[in-house]
Amino acid sequence: MHVIAVPSVPKRTDEFSSADEIINSLLDLRPEKWGLPPFNDWIEGTLPIDPWFIGGPVIKGFGRGSKVLGIPTANLAAENFSDILSDHTSGVYFGWAGLSKRGIYKMVMSIGWNPYFDNTEKTIEPWLLHGFDEDFYGEELRLVIVGYIRPEANFPSLESLIERIHEDGRIAENALDLPEYAKYKESPYLRNPLQEGAATGGNEAEQEFI
């Protein structure tokens, strides 16, 4: 019998060294590695998921997106989404982003502890795949997350991390043109304004579109 471990507590993988493989979540299970038929639901390097919806004002993050990585992220306050963060595994996801005063854009995002920077808390860090001329702190941001790309990972160098983030961006950019994902660009959730100062999260918006 082969044993695949899925630790429920982060940063404790050393406790499962006797397992044949340690994976971040069951989203990362590849049965073909163990002589079983592969799953057939992956599409061009992405996995469709039941969409989930989060929104709130853009806040200042750690400052490393633009300054260190050259990749500006539109951060949301993690404390507003503690239930969602606990329900969803860490990793790289993608979907659509709606900015209340600008429009709708493709986006890729990380959820987790960012092992390279060794975060002490789980964060949500979306990267809108568009060039903006100015910051938009405080502006209302709504996200519809529709697919999964890969588990969270550490990297041996900053350069390799940046290269991988850009690769994630390319994967998301192409995948969101597929009908499976492109249809969510029309979700009313991306356009309906939030009440001032509010934040939303979960699947309550699903009935608006799905």
Report field, pTM of the whole predicted structure over 0.85: no
**Which of 125, 139, 163, 186 does the annotation list as catalytic?**
125
Res 15: pLDDT: 84
Domains of the chain: 50-190 (2.40.30.30)
**Could you report the per-residue pLDDT of 118-145, keeping only the tens digit for each?**
666 778 889 999 988 888 888 999 999 9
The encoded tokens of residue 52 equal: 């989930």
How many other C-beta atoms lie within 10 A of the C-beta of residue 180?
Answer: 14
Cβ atoms 122, 112 nearer than 8 A: yes
Please name the residues in contact with 50: beta carbons below 8 A apart, sequence gap of 6 or more: 203
Cβ atoms 151, 197 nearer than 8 A: no
**Could you report the per-residue pLDDT of 138-171, keeping only the tens digit for each?**
899 999 999 999 998 878 888 888 899 999 999 9
187 vs 204: CA distance, rounded Å? 13
Res 193: pLDDT: 59
Res 80: pLDDT: 76
Cβ atoms 194, 140 nearer than 8 A: yes
Give catalytic status of residue 32 as yes or no: no
Give just the sign of the alpha carbon dihedral 121, 150, 185, 88. Answer: negative
CA 149 and chain centroid, separation: 8
Res 208: pLDDT: 45
- The list of the chain residues with pLDDT below 70 reads 10-11, 61-69, 114-120, 193-210
DSSP 3-state assignment of 145? strand
Of 64, 74, 81, 122, which is closest to residue 96 (Cα–Cα)?
A: 74
